[in-house]
Amino acid sequence: NEGLIYGKAEGELPRPLFGFVSVLEVRAREVEPGLWRSEQKEAMACLDMETRMPIETIHNPYTGRTNRAIGYVSPVNVYWFDRIGSGFRERPKIGQTSRLWRSSATDIWVTESRFNHFPSSITEAEFPDSYAGPVRHSVDILTYRARSADFADAANASVPGTLTMVSDTPWPLWMMMGKRGGSAIYHGSGQKYRHFSELPAITRRAMDRAYPGFLEDPWGFP
């Protein structure tokens, strides 16, 4: 999943700040009829918008400061999926997600919106320049597209698909925006591959530069 991250200050139009790329390996299994449990390991890097290579710092146009651009390698994250939608670490609950299906003669799209409420991982005493409040609210809107024929074929254990994503999130903590109003908007698109070896060459270069060894052993990567 690769795209741009925009800043949306109060009373202003969004402006592109920097790029990002996110690579995930996902393992899923059906634990009971209609209920799936998936595990995923993800690496995300901040990119230069032109070269699409990892960056170490950005100039923050809202504060005038230079910030260290911080990506991440996730722990093993667990998601549950059923007919309601998806749930992080636990079975989906009504109101956490919504799902919309659309189709044409050849394709199927499903859009899932995830409404997130995460406790802040920092305190104001620790990081007064970054702390915005006790809870961070965000919404992720993910649209997956697949061919109708692939989806209808029960012999397919995995269906080829593409992704588009929009997320409206609080400012990244490392931008040190504090309680300043506004948000960050992520817009990305991507594709499902059977193996990391099928990734575009430029994506492999970016990942190898940011997190050497992740593509070879994501589950063992610290």
Looking at residue 59, its pLDDT comes to 96
Distance CA 185, CA 178 (A): 17
Closest to 153 in 3D by CA, of 190, 191, 108, 195: 108
Looking at residue 60, its pLDDT comes to 97
Give the confidence band of 125 by pLDDT, cuts at 50, 70, 90.
very high
Closest to 45 in 3D by CA, of 202, 177, 216: 202
Give the confidence band of 86 by pLDDT, cuts at 50, 70, 90.
confident
144 near 160, Cβ under 8 Å? no
What are the pLDDT digits (tens) for 23-38? 999 999 999 998 889 9
Distance CA 14, CA 183 (A): 9
Report helix, strand or coil for 54. Answer: strand
What are the pLDDT digits (tens) for 65-78? 999 999 999 999 99
Distance CA 106, CA 135 (A): 42
Is 42 a residue whose pLDDT tops 90?
A: yes
Is 96 a residue whose pLDDT tops 80?
A: no
Is 93 a residue whose pLDDT tops 80?
A: no
133 near 145, Cβ under 8 Å? no
Contacts (Cβ under 8 Å, ≥6 apart) of 45 = 20, 21, 54, 71, 206, 207, 210, 211
Contacts (Cβ under 8 Å, ≥6 apart) of 194 = 158
Give the confidence band of 153 by pLDDT, cuts at 50, 70, 90.
very high
For the chain, percent of residues with pLDDT exceeding 70: 99
Is 144 a residue whose pLDDT tops 80?
A: yes
Q: What is the DSSP string of 55-106?
A: -SEEE-TTT--EEE---EE---EEEEE-SS-EEESS---BTTEEEEEEE-SS
Is 85 a residue whose pLDDT tops 80?
A: no
Count how many residues are written for the chain.
222
Distance CA 86, CA 113 (A): 9
What are the pLDDT digits (tens) for 159-189? 999 999 999 999 999 999 999 999 999 999 9
